[in-house]
Structure formats: C-alpha cells, structure tokens
C-alpha cells in the first residue's frame, strides 16, 4: 500500500510538473518586417518567420508565446529575462555573440542596395559616394553602411523601421536603402516599389558585420533552450516541413549555404 501511494504521488508530481512547464516567450520585432513577420489589424503576427516559430516549437515540443518588442530593445529584453529567445531575422554576428548566444542558422540571404530606377548607381563605396543611404537603426545594415559607405562620402540616415526608409526612398528624400534582399523584394513587389525602384546590386560580403546567417538568440548559458531550438530546426529541415511552408512565400530556398 505504501509503495502504491508513493507511486501515485510520483505520478502526480510528474503530471504537475508537465502542467507547470513554463511557456517559452519568443521575441519578434514589433515593427512590421514583411514577409517574415507583421501584425494584422488585431495585433496577431503572421508571415514566414511566424510559421517557422510555430513549426520549430511544435517539433521541439515547446509551448511558445510570441512577444512583440521594439527592435532596438530586443536584446536587452532577452538579457533581462522579459523574453526567452529572439526569432526576428537577427543575424549571427561576432558583436552580438559577445552578449548573447545563437542557435544554428535558419536562413541566410544576400544583402542588397535598392535605389531609383534610371539612376546610375552600384552597391560600392564609389557608386554611392555623395548619396544619402537610409537604413534601419541598430541593425547590421547600419554598421555596414557606416563602415563601408559613410567613409566613402555617403551620408547615412537611420530609421526606426525599414518601412520608413522605404517610404522616404519613394518620396525622394533618400537616394538608396540597404537591407536583406528578401525584405526589399517584398517592398519592390508593392505598387510604390514597382514604380520607383530597383535592386542596384548585392554588397560585398563581410561576415564580421553581416554575420553567418539568421539564428535564434538565447541568453548566455541557456544551453538547454538552445539545444531544443537546434533540435526543432534539424527536425523541420529533415522532414520537409521547412521547405513546405517556405514554398508558400518564396520561389526558391532561403536556407543558403
């Protein structure tokens, strides 16, 4: 009888432990970043990265909650414990790895310069000399243009969101913008983007700034969560889930080399 009671208590503890499992708070940028993540009229997020989050969490058996955070405060939100991981198209860079850890990459696409149609411009320091380049603040693109183009006599203008930079490009208040090719493809597919602008070229790759692809950010030392996320990524890549939802957004793979 005593043994039965002990077994029952142990079973209850296991059930209670499962019920009390903490929700993993997944930080995404509060600002719209199509086609990766954008809020609808009710505030619910949708897009490729939201599908990715849902797939990884399901594969890793994690109960996840999406938490929108202003981009320039997303790493402090992670390190202070307000969120548990960042899945917001954050590139894996040496500078960021001084503060946080990353999962394995889950996509990797080129970085490009977009400017007005009919304007002679290349994605080089010489080609952008004297131009005003708009970039989103606190991004790898701000770091890149300040290192490579500002030194070559370009003027850099920062924005809280990429959409604001795109709007100023359409309005003629800046001469070019730099961002991830997929994000700018979405802009160029809009009526305003089609009418005004085109890709001027991909920038020279500097992995020390542009990183080694996009990964999920986790707090230093949170190896258990990082392992779960890596396991989820590996599973959806292996079973075809990744390719299936990616095909709904893109004509070809964005996983990269």
pLDDT digits (tens, 9 = 90+) for 206-243: 999 999 999 999 999 999 999 999 999 999 999 999 99
Sign of torsion over alpha carbons 243, 247, 250, 253: positive
For the 23-108+212-246 domain, the top CATH level (class) is: alpha beta
Domain residue spans of the chain: 23-108+212-246, 111-210
Q: Which of 142, 26, 143, 24 is nearest to 74 (CA)?
A: 26
Residues 241/59, Cβ–Cβ less than 8 Å: yes
What are the pLDDT digits (tens) for 73-127?
999 999 999 999 999 999 999 999 999 999 999 999 999 999 999 999 999 999 9
In angstroms, rounded to a whole number, what is the distance separating the alpha carbons of residues 40 and 51?
A: 15
The pLDDT of 65-70, averaged and rounded, is: 98
Kindly report the average pLDDT of the chain as a whole number: 91
d(CA 170, CA 88) in angstroms, rounded, equals 25
Q: What is the mean pLDDT of residues 173-193?
A: 96
Q: What is the mean pLDDT of residues 148-154?
A: 91
Number of H helices, E strands in the chain: 10, 12
Strand pairing class (155-159; 176-180) = unpaired
pLDDT over 90 (residue 18): no
pLDDT band at 21 (very low <50, low <70, confident <90, very high): low
Is domain 111-210 in CATH 3.40.190.10, yes or no?
Answer: yes
Q: Do the beta carbons of residue 241 and residue 55 sit within 8 Å?
A: yes
């Amino acid at each position: 009888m005593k043994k039965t009671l002990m077994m029952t208590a142990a079973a209850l503890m296991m059930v209670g432990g499962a019920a009390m499992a903490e929700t993993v708070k997944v930080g995404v940028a509060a600002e719209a970043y199509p086609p990766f993540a954008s809020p609808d009229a009710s505030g619910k997020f949708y897009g490729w990265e939201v599908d990715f989050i849902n797939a990884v969490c399901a594969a890793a058996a994690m109960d996840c909650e999406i938490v929108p955070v202003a981009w320039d405060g997303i790493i402090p939100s992670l390190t202070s414990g307000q969120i548990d991981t960042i899945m917001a198209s954050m590139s894996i860079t040496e500078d960021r790895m001084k503060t946080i850890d990353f999962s394995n990459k889950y996509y990797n696409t080129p970085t490009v310069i977009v400017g007005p149609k009919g304007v002679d411009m290349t994605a080089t320091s010489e080609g952008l000399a004297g131009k005003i380049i708009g970039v989103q603040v606190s991004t790898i693109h701000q770091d890149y243009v300040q290192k490579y183009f500002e030194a070559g006599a370009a003027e850099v203008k920062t924005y809280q969101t990429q959409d604001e930079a795109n709007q100023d490009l359409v309005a003629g208040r800046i001469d070019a913008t730099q961002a991830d090719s997929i994000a700018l493809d979405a802009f160029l597919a809009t009526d305003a983007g089609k009418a005004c602008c085109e890709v001027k070229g991909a920038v020279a790759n500097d992995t020390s700034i542009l990183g080694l692809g996009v990964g999920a950010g986790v707090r230093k030392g949170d190896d258990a969560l990082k392992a779960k996320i890596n396991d989820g990524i590996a599973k959806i890549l292996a079973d075809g889930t990744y390719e299936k939802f990616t095909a709904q957004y893109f004509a070809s793979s964005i996983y990269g080399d």
